Structure 1
Amino acid sequence: MDYHYPLNELWSKDEIIDIVHFFSIIEKYYEKTATDTEISSAYKRFKEIVPSKSEEKQYFNDFEIASGYKVYPVIKKTNEKT
């Protein structure tokens, strides 16, 4: 991994850890090792930290630019299964 996760300096240490965990779960999905439960749980926590849809889109876009991984299709696919 040669990129940085999109973070907000106003978040607490625990929130930063949870956001990093969420993005690492997205990476695991593309490596075929994340479960739907892991994805749903991490996304739920992400939404507690980032409730705004527009901010969510910006963080997802920043992550995609940095990593090449698209977040929204993963969340959509997971939600369709559950």
Structure 2
Amino acid sequence: MYDYPLDYDWSTDEILIVINLYNAVEKAYEEGIEANEFMDAYNAYREVLNSKAEEKKYEREFKDASSYSIFAVYKEALKGGFIKL
């Protein structure tokens, strides 16, 4: 069990969007996910974060906490289809 990296200055809706992406990444590793489902979550996540540096910070913290890579799932999602890492 681990804690999701979050910014508690975000609104409740923004926190839910970020958690939705983390859940999508977990799903890609644990059971698989459709690329379009992941990309919907990823695109919403990118709207919450203000900069590329902030994206990298949260991606790194999530990977450190979970060992799951948002970027690896994103790269697979660009190919389309079903993702299972």
CA RMSD, Structure 1 to Structure 2 (Å): 1.3
In the alignment, what sits opposite 2:23?
Answer: 24
Q: Which amino acid aligns with 2:72?
A: P
Deviations 1:41-82 (A, max 9, x none): 000000100141111111000001100111111111212338
Runs of 5+ unmatched residues, structure 2: none
Tell me the TM-score normalized by structure 2.
Answer: 0.88
Tell me the TM-score normalized by structure 1.
Answer: 0.91
Q: Higher relative contact order at CA 8 Å, sep ≥6: structure 1 or structure 2?
A: 2
* CA distance, structure 1, for counterparts of residue 32 and residue 73 of structure 2: 13
What percent of counterpart residues are identical? Answer: 36
Q: Please give the residue correspondences for 1:56-67 in structure 2 after superposition, counting only pairs within 5 Å.
A: 56-67=55-66
Runs of 5+ unmatched residues, structure 1: none
Higher strand proportion: 2
